Amino acid sequence: MRKFFRTPKGLLTIGLAAMAAVAAPHEGWRTAGVEIACAVAAAAIVDTIALRVRQGKWMFPSGAILTALIVSMVLSVQVPWYAAALTSTFAVLTKYVIRRRAANIFNPAALGIVALFPVLHTGQSWWGSLPEVPLAAQSLLVIAGVFIANRVDRMPLVVAFLGVYFALFTAAAFAADPAGVSEVFRAPDVQAVLFFAFFILTDPPTSPVGYADQLTCAAIVAVVSFAVFEWTGAVYYLLAGVLTGNAWEAWRRATLHARRVRAAAAAS
């Protein structure tokens, strides 16, 4: 366990838990605590069984706990406990179903929330991004986010996404009625997009490593998020953007692998 909490995944788990602890008093310990507990318990049980079947041994379900924390901190604390549990469980299962070679294609938390939205109609408040706490406490979001993004070497992805994202909405404010996009510049949307950029967009298995690829992915995610917001107004516009970016990255990796296979075959 000591070794795990030195890894990026372990450090992210600590960071999210700390942010949840800071935000929970403002949302109500009972409601927030029940949501997190149900989401984590359900996801951890399912992942533990799946890991046992796949690996042949008992393993700590670190990925499931991380996914459940993100799901519960994005969903509103007012959603029924079973909605958080079902969403987290579904999200974990997608890692084993929708994958290519050794890695999952989509960010599990994002896919779980978007896929079950038509069924559960879950609200999203992104309460874990600390929109209701004092400004000084909100610094935890930035400090933890910058630390994690640097640790996984995804800071260009974060900066490029935020730059394109706010540039598009700023242009829209000048081109049309500013009231239509004003909410993205206010709480809780500002905190939500930071949480998204730092902790969801930078997911190592589903995001690019190379800096040039990170810039391309950032632009895709920002443009799709903006388009979904403008054309549909869907509450999951950020998550729709990252899923599109995940799909592009999976296609890029598959194309690169195919080229390498053809080159190796030609060389032999």
pLDDT in tens, 77-94: 999 999 999 999 999 999
**Domain range summary for the chain, segments of one domain joined by +:** 4-257
Residue 265 structure tokens: 């075959």
Beta bridge partners of 103: 100
User: Are the C-beta atoms of residues 123 and 235 closer than 8 Å to each other?
Assistant: yes
Strands (E), the chain: 99-100, 103-104
pLDDT (average), residues 144-157: 97
Q: Which long-range contacts (CB under 8 A, 24 or more apart) does 93-100 make?
A: 93/46, 93/50, 95/63, 96/50, 96/54, 100/250, 100/253, 100/254
Residue 33 structure tokens: 């605590």
User: Are the C-beta atoms of residues 17 and 66 closer than 8 Å to each other?
Assistant: no
Residues 6+ apart with CB under 8 A from 217: 157, 207, 208, 245, 248, 249
How much is the mean pLDDT over the chain? Answer: 94
- Under the banding of pLDDT at 50, 70 and 90, the label for residue 1 is low
Buried b (16+ CB within 10 A) or exposed e, 106-144: bbbbbbbbbbbbeebebebbbbbbbbbbeeeebebbeeb
pLDDT at 234 over 90: yes
Report strand pairing: 99-100 vs 103-104. Answer: antiparallel
pLDDT (average), residues 132-142: 92
pLDDT (average), residues 102-117: 95
Full-model pTM: 0.95
